Chain A
Amino acid sequence: MKRPESVQVIKQRRDTALQSLLAGVPYIQFMGFKFDRRGDELTGVMPYQDMLIGNPMLPALHGGATAAFLETTAIVELSWAMMWDRMEAGEDVAEQRLPKTIDFTVDYLRTGLPRDAYARATVNRSGRRYASVHVEAWQDNRSRLFAQATGHFLMPQTDQNT
Protein backbone atom coordinates (compact mmCIF):
# COMPACT_ATOMS: atom_id res chain seq x y z
CA MET A 1 0.00 0.00 0.00
CA LYS A 2 1.18 3.51 -0.88
CA ARG A 3 2.41 5.54 2.03
CA PRO A 4 0.42 8.76 2.57
CA GLU A 5 2.27 11.97 1.70
CA SER A 6 3.72 13.95 4.56
CA VAL A 7 1.57 16.76 5.88
CA GLN A 8 4.13 19.40 4.91
CA VAL A 9 4.16 18.28 1.29
CA ILE A 10 0.39 18.39 1.09
CA LYS A 11 0.11 21.78 2.78
CA GLN A 12 2.80 23.33 0.68
CA ARG A 13 1.27 22.07 -2.56
CA ARG A 14 -2.16 23.43 -1.65
CA ASP A 15 -0.94 26.76 -0.29
CA THR A 16 1.30 27.32 -3.30
CA ALA A 17 -1.59 26.60 -5.67
CA LEU A 18 -3.86 29.01 -3.78
CA GLN A 19 -1.22 31.73 -3.73
CA SER A 20 -0.57 31.35 -7.46
CA LEU A 21 -4.27 31.90 -8.02
CA LEU A 22 -4.39 35.09 -5.92
CA ALA A 23 -1.00 36.70 -6.46
CA GLY A 24 -1.53 37.18 -10.18
CA VAL A 25 -4.59 39.38 -9.76
CA PRO A 26 -3.67 43.03 -9.08
CA TYR A 27 -7.20 43.94 -7.96
CA ILE A 28 -7.14 41.28 -5.19
CA GLN A 29 -3.87 42.81 -3.93
CA PHE A 30 -5.25 46.35 -4.23
CA MET A 31 -8.34 45.48 -2.17
CA GLY A 32 -6.28 43.46 0.31
CA PHE A 33 -8.45 40.32 0.07
CA LYS A 34 -7.02 37.23 1.78
CA PHE A 35 -8.12 33.61 1.81
CA ASP A 36 -7.98 31.23 4.77
CA ARG A 37 -7.69 27.60 3.82
CA ARG A 38 -8.71 24.60 5.92
CA GLY A 39 -8.37 21.52 3.76
CA ASP A 40 -10.36 22.36 0.65
CA GLU A 41 -12.54 24.91 2.45
CA LEU A 42 -11.83 28.57 1.74
CA THR A 43 -12.94 31.62 3.69
CA GLY A 44 -12.48 35.00 2.04
CA VAL A 45 -11.27 37.76 4.35
CA MET A 46 -11.59 41.48 3.64
CA PRO A 47 -9.38 43.07 6.31
CA TYR A 48 -10.68 46.50 7.26
CA GLN A 49 -9.05 49.50 5.57
CA ASP A 50 -10.23 53.12 5.55
CA MET A 51 -10.44 53.12 1.79
CA LEU A 52 -13.27 50.55 1.88
CA ILE A 53 -15.60 53.08 3.48
CA GLY A 54 -18.49 54.48 1.47
CA ASN A 55 -20.00 56.46 4.26
CA PRO A 56 -17.43 58.41 6.25
CA MET A 57 -19.88 59.60 8.91
CA LEU A 58 -21.47 56.35 10.04
CA PRO A 59 -18.95 54.92 9.07
CA ALA A 60 -20.00 51.99 6.88
CA LEU A 61 -18.43 49.91 4.15
CA HIS A 62 -19.12 50.93 0.56
CA GLY A 63 -21.68 48.67 -1.09
CA GLY A 64 -19.36 48.42 -4.07
CA ALA A 65 -16.52 47.11 -1.91
CA THR A 66 -18.89 44.53 -0.44
CA ALA A 67 -20.02 43.49 -3.93
CA ALA A 68 -16.41 43.21 -5.09
CA PHE A 69 -15.52 41.08 -2.07
CA LEU A 70 -18.45 38.71 -2.68
CA GLU A 71 -17.67 38.43 -6.38
CA THR A 72 -13.99 37.77 -5.79
CA THR A 73 -14.79 35.10 -3.19
CA ALA A 74 -17.15 33.41 -5.65
CA ILE A 75 -14.55 33.43 -8.45
CA VAL A 76 -11.75 32.16 -6.21
CA GLU A 77 -13.92 29.38 -4.75
CA LEU A 78 -14.99 28.30 -8.22
CA SER A 79 -11.42 28.29 -9.54
CA TRP A 80 -10.23 26.45 -6.45
CA ALA A 81 -12.91 23.76 -6.86
CA MET A 82 -11.97 23.42 -10.55
CA MET A 83 -8.27 22.98 -9.87
CA TRP A 84 -8.51 20.79 -6.76
CA ASP A 85 -8.50 17.36 -8.40
CA ARG A 86 -5.70 18.22 -10.82
CA MET A 87 -3.69 19.77 -8.01
CA GLU A 88 -4.12 16.69 -5.81
CA ALA A 89 -3.02 14.53 -8.73
CA GLY A 90 0.22 16.50 -8.74
CA GLU A 91 -0.43 18.41 -11.98
CA ASP A 92 0.81 21.95 -12.46
CA VAL A 93 -2.12 24.27 -11.84
CA ALA A 94 -0.23 27.58 -12.02
CA GLU A 95 -1.76 28.32 -15.41
CA GLN A 96 -5.34 28.07 -14.13
CA ARG A 97 -7.50 30.65 -15.90
CA LEU A 98 -10.26 32.39 -13.99
CA PRO A 99 -13.98 32.04 -14.74
CA LYS A 100 -15.73 35.13 -16.08
CA THR A 101 -18.75 36.66 -14.38
CA ILE A 102 -21.91 36.58 -16.47
CA ASP A 103 -24.20 38.16 -13.89
CA PHE A 104 -24.05 38.86 -10.18
CA THR A 105 -26.92 39.77 -7.85
CA VAL A 106 -26.13 41.23 -4.46
CA ASP A 107 -28.57 41.32 -1.58
CA TYR A 108 -27.63 43.88 1.08
CA LEU A 109 -28.95 42.77 4.44
CA ARG A 110 -27.23 44.99 7.00
CA THR A 111 -24.79 47.83 7.28
CA GLY A 112 -21.19 46.79 6.65
CA LEU A 113 -19.36 47.84 9.79
CA PRO A 114 -15.81 49.22 9.82
CA ARG A 115 -14.16 45.93 10.68
CA ASP A 116 -13.00 42.75 8.95
CA ALA A 117 -15.52 40.88 6.82
CA TYR A 118 -15.61 37.19 5.92
CA ALA A 119 -17.23 35.33 3.07
CA ARG A 120 -17.79 31.77 2.05
CA ALA A 121 -19.00 30.62 -1.35
CA THR A 122 -20.89 27.49 -2.35
CA VAL A 123 -20.76 26.18 -5.89
CA ASN A 124 -24.37 25.15 -6.48
CA ARG A 125 -23.79 23.88 -9.97
CA SER A 126 -20.69 23.65 -12.04
CA GLY A 127 -20.96 22.39 -15.58
CA ARG A 128 -18.53 22.37 -18.47
CA ARG A 129 -19.49 25.86 -19.58
CA TYR A 130 -21.51 27.51 -16.83
CA ALA A 131 -21.52 27.60 -13.07
CA SER A 132 -23.86 29.00 -10.44
CA VAL A 133 -22.34 30.15 -7.16
CA HIS A 134 -23.89 31.47 -3.96
CA VAL A 135 -21.82 33.48 -1.49
CA GLU A 136 -22.51 34.74 2.01
CA ALA A 137 -20.68 37.42 3.95
CA TRP A 138 -20.66 38.22 7.64
CA GLN A 139 -18.62 40.18 10.14
CA ASP A 140 -18.79 39.33 13.83
CA ASN A 141 -21.42 36.67 13.78
CA ARG A 142 -21.62 33.90 11.19
CA SER A 143 -25.39 33.64 11.55
CA ARG A 144 -25.96 37.36 10.97
CA LEU A 145 -25.06 37.85 7.31
CA PHE A 146 -24.57 41.44 6.17
CA ALA A 147 -24.72 40.58 2.47
CA GLN A 148 -25.22 37.61 0.19
CA ALA A 149 -25.06 37.13 -3.55
CA THR A 150 -25.64 34.68 -6.36
CA GLY A 151 -23.89 34.76 -9.69
CA HIS A 152 -23.47 32.88 -12.93
CA PHE A 153 -20.02 32.33 -14.37
CA LEU A 154 -18.58 31.27 -17.68
CA MET A 155 -16.01 28.54 -17.15
CA PRO A 156 -12.58 29.00 -18.73
CA GLN A 157 -12.18 26.67 -21.69
CA THR A 158 -9.16 24.41 -21.35
CA ASP A 159 -7.92 21.58 -23.56
CA GLN A 160 -9.50 19.27 -21.04
CA ASN A 161 -13.04 20.42 -21.33
CA THR A 162 -13.43 21.72 -24.85
Chain B
Amino acid sequence: MSLRPSRFWGNWGQHCYDLGLVRTFTAGFKQGMSKERQTMIAKQFISALPHAHALGMDVTEIGDGHATITLPYDERLVGDPETGVIHGGAVSALLDTCAGASVMVHESLPLGTATLGLRIDYMRPATPGDMITARAECYHVTRSVAFVRATAMDADSSRPVATATGAFTIQTEKKGKS
Protein backbone atom coordinates (compact mmCIF):
# COMPACT_ATOMS: atom_id res chain seq x y z
CA MET B 1 0.00 0.00 0.00
CA SER B 2 1.70 3.15 -1.12
CA LEU B 3 -0.65 5.50 0.64
CA ARG B 4 -0.42 5.49 4.38
CA PRO B 5 -3.69 5.09 6.24
CA SER B 6 -3.22 8.25 8.20
CA ARG B 7 -0.86 11.15 8.53
CA PHE B 8 -0.15 13.45 11.37
CA TRP B 9 0.82 17.04 11.37
CA GLY B 10 2.67 18.53 14.30
CA ASN B 11 1.73 21.96 15.44
CA TRP B 12 5.42 22.88 15.65
CA GLY B 13 5.71 23.48 19.19
CA GLN B 14 3.77 20.69 20.51
CA HIS B 15 1.71 17.74 19.34
CA CYS B 16 0.77 15.73 16.35
CA TYR B 17 -2.64 15.09 15.00
CA ASP B 18 -4.59 13.56 12.21
CA LEU B 19 -6.28 15.81 9.74
CA GLY B 20 -7.80 15.11 6.39
CA LEU B 21 -6.33 18.29 5.04
CA VAL B 22 -2.85 17.18 6.02
CA ARG B 23 -3.30 13.84 4.34
CA THR B 24 -4.11 15.62 1.13
CA PHE B 25 -1.22 17.98 1.67
CA THR B 26 1.56 15.48 2.24
CA ALA B 27 0.17 12.73 0.03
CA GLY B 28 0.25 15.29 -2.74
CA PHE B 29 3.97 15.65 -2.41
CA LYS B 30 4.49 11.92 -2.64
CA GLN B 31 2.60 11.60 -5.86
CA GLY B 32 4.87 14.18 -7.48
CA MET B 33 2.38 16.87 -8.24
CA SER B 34 3.53 20.12 -9.76
CA LYS B 35 5.37 22.66 -7.65
CA GLU B 36 2.58 25.18 -8.18
CA ARG B 37 -0.01 22.75 -6.89
CA GLN B 38 2.14 21.79 -3.88
CA THR B 39 2.61 25.44 -3.02
CA MET B 40 -1.09 26.09 -3.36
CA ILE B 41 -2.04 23.26 -1.00
CA ALA B 42 0.66 24.32 1.47
CA LYS B 43 -0.63 27.90 1.38
CA GLN B 44 -4.11 26.66 2.22
CA PHE B 45 -2.71 24.55 4.99
CA ILE B 46 -0.75 27.36 6.62
CA SER B 47 -3.74 29.65 6.45
CA ALA B 48 -5.67 26.95 8.34
CA LEU B 49 -3.25 27.30 11.28
CA PRO B 50 -4.96 30.01 13.32
CA HIS B 51 -1.83 31.61 14.71
CA ALA B 52 0.01 31.65 11.38
CA HIS B 53 -3.08 33.14 9.80
CA ALA B 54 -3.46 35.77 12.55
CA LEU B 55 0.09 36.97 11.94
CA GLY B 56 -0.47 37.08 8.17
CA MET B 57 2.02 34.38 7.13
CA ASP B 58 2.09 33.17 3.55
CA VAL B 59 3.92 30.19 2.05
CA THR B 60 5.77 31.19 -1.09
CA GLU B 61 7.74 28.02 -1.77
CA ILE B 62 7.72 24.55 -0.26
CA GLY B 63 9.00 21.04 -0.97
CA ASP B 64 12.04 18.78 -0.76
CA GLY B 65 12.89 19.61 2.87
CA HIS B 66 12.73 23.35 2.25
CA ALA B 67 10.11 25.97 3.04
CA THR B 68 9.87 29.72 2.48
CA ILE B 69 7.27 31.69 4.42
CA THR B 70 6.71 35.44 4.47
CA LEU B 71 5.43 37.74 7.21
CA PRO B 72 4.21 41.14 5.95
CA TYR B 73 4.97 44.21 8.02
CA ASP B 74 2.09 44.96 10.39
CA GLU B 75 1.96 47.75 12.97
CA ARG B 76 0.17 45.46 15.42
CA LEU B 77 3.32 43.32 15.62
CA VAL B 78 5.65 46.15 16.57
CA GLY B 79 7.80 45.47 19.62
CA ASP B 80 9.54 48.82 19.90
CA PRO B 81 7.17 51.73 19.29
CA GLU B 82 10.04 54.22 19.08
CA THR B 83 11.56 52.55 16.06
CA GLY B 84 8.63 50.55 14.65
CA VAL B 85 10.68 47.34 14.69
CA ILE B 86 8.72 44.06 14.69
CA HIS B 87 8.76 42.15 18.00
CA GLY B 88 11.11 39.18 18.26
CA GLY B 89 8.17 36.97 19.24
CA ALA B 90 6.58 37.37 15.82
CA VAL B 91 9.90 36.49 14.17
CA SER B 92 10.12 33.41 16.43
CA ALA B 93 6.63 32.32 15.40
CA LEU B 94 7.57 32.74 11.72
CA LEU B 95 10.81 30.73 12.11
CA ASP B 96 9.04 27.98 14.09
CA THR B 97 6.30 27.64 11.49
CA CYS B 98 8.78 27.63 8.62
CA ALA B 99 11.06 25.09 10.33
CA GLY B 100 8.12 22.77 11.04
CA ALA B 101 6.94 23.06 7.44
CA SER B 102 10.38 22.07 6.11
CA VAL B 103 10.34 18.92 8.27
CA MET B 104 6.94 17.90 6.92
CA VAL B 105 8.14 18.09 3.33
CA HIS B 106 11.43 16.28 3.89
CA GLU B 107 11.81 13.40 1.44
CA SER B 108 11.30 10.88 4.28
CA LEU B 109 7.76 12.32 4.62
CA PRO B 110 7.33 11.94 8.37
CA LEU B 111 3.87 11.16 9.65
CA GLY B 112 4.09 14.07 12.01
CA THR B 113 6.43 16.41 13.76
CA ALA B 114 6.64 18.62 16.83
CA THR B 115 9.29 21.07 18.01
CA LEU B 116 11.62 19.69 20.70
CA GLY B 117 13.82 22.73 20.92
CA LEU B 118 14.44 25.88 18.95
CA ARG B 119 17.27 28.36 19.34
CA ILE B 120 16.96 31.75 17.74
CA ASP B 121 19.77 34.26 17.27
CA TYR B 122 18.76 37.83 16.57
CA MET B 123 21.39 39.54 14.42
CA ARG B 124 19.75 42.89 13.85
CA PRO B 125 16.35 44.55 13.96
CA ALA B 126 14.22 44.02 10.85
CA THR B 127 13.83 47.25 8.88
CA PRO B 128 10.41 48.76 9.71
CA GLY B 129 8.05 48.48 6.77
CA ASP B 130 9.86 45.51 5.21
CA MET B 131 8.29 42.11 4.76
CA ILE B 132 10.20 39.38 6.63
CA THR B 133 10.99 36.20 4.72
CA ALA B 134 12.00 33.00 6.47
CA ARG B 135 13.65 30.10 4.70
CA ALA B 136 14.11 26.78 6.46
CA GLU B 137 16.05 23.67 5.51
CA CYS B 138 15.51 20.30 7.11
CA TYR B 139 19.08 19.09 6.57
CA HIS B 140 19.17 15.83 8.48
CA VAL B 141 16.63 13.30 9.61
CA THR B 142 17.12 10.21 11.77
CA ARG B 143 14.41 7.71 12.68
CA SER B 144 13.19 9.92 15.50
CA VAL B 145 14.66 13.40 15.11
CA ALA B 146 14.82 16.04 12.39
CA PHE B 147 17.42 18.84 12.39
CA VAL B 148 16.55 22.16 10.86
CA ARG B 149 18.22 25.49 10.23
CA ALA B 150 16.34 28.58 9.24
CA THR B 151 17.09 32.18 8.36
CA ALA B 152 14.88 35.26 8.47
CA MET B 153 15.61 38.19 6.18
CA ASP B 154 14.04 41.50 5.27
CA ALA B 155 14.46 43.40 1.98
CA ASP B 156 18.25 43.32 2.43
CA SER B 157 18.84 39.62 1.90
CA SER B 158 22.61 39.91 2.33
CA ARG B 159 22.35 40.42 6.10
CA PRO B 160 20.10 38.04 8.04
CA VAL B 161 17.70 39.45 10.64
CA ALA B 162 17.66 36.21 12.64
CA THR B 163 18.75 32.60 12.34
CA ALA B 164 17.36 29.54 14.06
CA THR B 165 18.36 25.95 14.62
CA GLY B 166 15.93 23.40 15.87
CA ALA B 167 15.39 19.76 16.69
CA PHE B 168 12.00 18.28 15.86
CA THR B 169 10.38 14.98 16.71
CA ILE B 170 9.71 12.65 13.83
CA GLN B 171 6.82 10.28 13.82
CA THR B 172 7.70 7.42 11.49
CA GLU B 173 5.47 4.90 9.84
CA LYS B 174 6.49 2.06 12.15
CA LYS B 175 5.65 3.95 15.29
CA GLY B 176 2.68 5.69 13.76
CA LYS B 177 -0.89 4.90 14.59
CA SER B 178 -2.88 3.43 11.79
Chain A interfacial positions (CB closer than 8 Å to B): 24-31, 50-58, 60-69, 71-72, 97-98, 100-108, 110-112, 146
Stretch at the interface among B8-16, B24-32, B135-143, B152-160: B8-16
| 25 sample A-B contacts, Cβ–Cβ < 8 Å, listed by A number | A25-B81, A50-B50, A53-B11, A54-B11, A54-B51, A55-B49, A56-B48, A58-B11, A61-B13, A61-B51, A62-B11, A62-B51, A62-B52, A62-B97, A63-B96, A64-B13, A64-B92, A64-B93, A67-B13, A67-B92, A98-B80, A106-B118, A108-B114, A108-B116, A146-B14
Interface presence of B129 (CB below 8 A): no
List, in ascending order, chain B residues with CB within 8 A of A102's CB.
121-122
Identify the closest chain A residue to B81 (Cβ). A24
CA distance A111 to B75 in the complex (A): 30
Q: How many residues of B contact A (CB 8 A)?
A: 48
List, in ascending order, chain B residues with CB within 8 A of A105's CB.
117-120
Given A55-B9, A58-B17, A60-B11: A25 touches B49 (CB 8 Å cut-off): no
- Whether A63 and B118, one on each chain, are in contact in the complex, defined by CB atoms closer than 8 angstroms, is yes
Partner of B11, one of A63, A97, A110: A63
CA distance A104 to B95 in the complex (A): 12
Interface presence of B40 (CB below 8 A): no
Chain B interfacial positions (CB closer than 8 Å to A): 9-15, 17-19, 48-55, 75-82, 86-90, 92-97, 100, 114-122, 125
Identify the closest chain B residue to A50 (Cβ). B50
- Whether A67 and B89, one on each chain, are in contact in the complex, defined by CB atoms closer than 8 angstroms, is yes
- Whether B13 and A56, one on each chain, are in contact in the complex, defined by CB atoms closer than 8 angstroms, is no
CA distance A111 to B57 in the complex (A): 22
Nearest CB of B to A52, in Å: 6
List, in ascending order, chain A residues with CB within 8 A of B117's CB.
105-108
Partner of A26, one of B9, B81, B96, B125: B81
- Whether A104 and B120, one on each chain, are in contact in the complex, defined by CB atoms closer than 8 angstroms, is yes
